[in-house]
Amino acid sequence: MTRNPVQGIEAPPHAEVIAILDFGSQYAQLIARRVREAGAFSMLVAPDISLDDLKTINPKGIIFSGGPSSVTETGAPRCSDQIFDLKIPILGICYGMQLACQILGCDVDQGESREYGPARLSITDSEGLLTGIPSVTTVWMSHGDQVMGLDGDFVTLANTPTCPFAAVRHKSISFYGFQFHPEVTHTPHGVDMLRNFLYEVCQCSGTWRMSDFLEAESERLRKHIGDRRVICGLSGGVDSSVVAALLARAIGDQLTCIFVDNGLLRKNERQLVETTFRDHFDIDLRVVDAAKAFLDDLAGITDPQEKRKRIGHRFIEVFKDAAQHVSGEVHFLAQGTLYPDVIESGHGHAGMAANIKLHHNVGGLPDDLPFELIEPLRNLFKDEVRKLGDVLGLPAHIVWRHPFPGPGLAVRIVGDITLDKLDLLRECDEILLEEIIANNLYRSTDQVFAVLLPIKSVGVMGDDRTYESVVAIRAVETQDFMTADWARIPYDVLAKISNRIINEVVGVNRVVYDISSKPPATIEWE
């Protein structure tokens, strides 16, 4: 195996590796995902990785990610200036392009106008990276600085109305630069551009598959865990289910799964999990009723970060107690953490990602965690986890289940948490999902849920005035959960959902529909 000296993941034998220097971009792992989709094995590494470590990876190509810093700032992240001496093809994206061009002798400064959002790209030279791309296309920009001038060693490939050097290449060094972001869905031909880098420039053959990840990760887990015992927090969602199946495959009866009823679950969730997983998995499953402890911890708490912290700490106390009833000493705690959880919690590569929110299975864990944490899916996106679930042979109703946050309904009730509010929201959530499934919309949407808002509104029922709760409906479509768009649910379906909730759930007299995209909003409200 080839070990990543920064993150500890391993490349399968003979894999074609693309090393991605992560300068703190929110989309760094999205670049990695696009590369894997295109058939090469991607590895995120720190920007200051040594040249010797980079040689050990033996990459076919290198990508410099974007990032929130300015290359003109003191202390901005940098890579070795000698990286170009390796004679490995390099693609710089946004900050990565600016840094590379600066190293290679160009001026970088603040642009006259900051570009954020869609831009019209005009291609002037389609050689290499832009082969087969329409001469005029849309790209997604997000930058303030830009390259201000090129010397004679560079060729301009494309421009936008406000960015004369939107795509460039070096004449003698195998370097290409994009000022825009090809990895996001808002750049329609971005995937084609990345594929051109892999196949036209790096000469990859496209041999990477999710089955390779399964074999490599199973072997890594066996070596790391040895003969020690593991407990896995099983929620019933696809993430923890895939982790459980992966660990069961890797270490067999050394695994005990623990399902915690925290009182924050959807209606009948506990019964569904017990039935599904005791029937499907040949594993040791323990169910712990800890609802009262969680609700006591949350009493009077309104701050969403504090909610997540308290839930995270209580989960650990529950796992510590449960571990005492497992035969043999428990050394590891396994969780279904995904990369969007990591990056939104500000635990991105080299600590450069902004903190957007804490996740109980990332930033909400105590510093004195009594277990060693293992997170086999930490470098994967949701769609990759679903592919892994298919490879592992999990049933479709598990693989395609919509995500449900670890903190449960606590982050879908804005404000303080009470049992009455939880019961009200459970009823709304069940009606919502019933109608989404009945109208064949479950697989065409990626996450659908109800949110109880901390406000009341005036209404009329019969001849009486009401002053009751407002419920928001959230439905999104996304490929990776890093960006998302609100789902265009048909009006008649929305009308039926609203009518059923208002008529069947006592205490609700108004339903609203959230039409915010991510970004700027997050998918969950808290």
Positions marked active-site: 94, 181, 183
Cα–Cα distance, 34 to 182 (Å, whole number): 10
CB 425 within 8 A of CB 474: no
Cross-strand partners of 465: 460
Closest CA to 330 of 256, 224, 260: 256
Q: Is 284 helix (H, G, I), strand (E, B) or coil?
A: strand
Residues 6 or more apart whose Cβ sits within 8 Å of residue 500: 431, 435
In whole angstroms, what is the distance from residue 363 CA to residue 311 CA? 11
- Which is it for the CA torsion 170, 175, 179, 184, positive or negative? positive
CA 263 to CA 172: how far, in whole Å?
Answer: 63
Count of CB atoms situated within 10 Å of the CB of 67: 28
Handedness of CA 442, 36, 46, 371 (dihedral sign): positive
Measured from the Cβ of residue 134, the count of other Cβ atoms closer than 10 Å reads 13
Q: What is the DSSP string of 89-123?
A: -EEEETHHHHHHHHHTT-EEEEEEEEEEEEEEEEE
The amino acid present at 124, given as its one-letter code, is: T
Lookup result for tokens 């969602």: 237
What are the strands, taking DSSP E only, across 150-283?
A: 154-160, 163-170, 175-178, 229-233, 255-261
What does the alpha-carbon distance between residue 344 and residue 347 come to, in Å, rounded to a whole number? 7
Rounded distance between C-alpha atoms, residue 507 and residue 466, angstroms: 9
Residue 340: DSSP 8-state: H
Q: What are phi and psi of 151, to 5 degrees?
A: -90, -175
Distance from C-alpha of 278 to C-alpha of 420, rounded to nearest angstrom: 31
4 vs 155: CA distance, rounded Å: 34
Instruction: Please list the residues that pair with 90 across neighbouring strands.
Output: 62, 175
Q: Are 224 and 285 in contact (CB under 8 A)?
A: no
CA-based radius of gyration for the chain: 25
What is the C-alpha separation between 234 and 286, in angstroms, rounded? 9
**Sheet strands (E) in 22-85:** 41-45, 61-64
How many angstroms separate the CA atoms of 36 and 101, rounded? 26
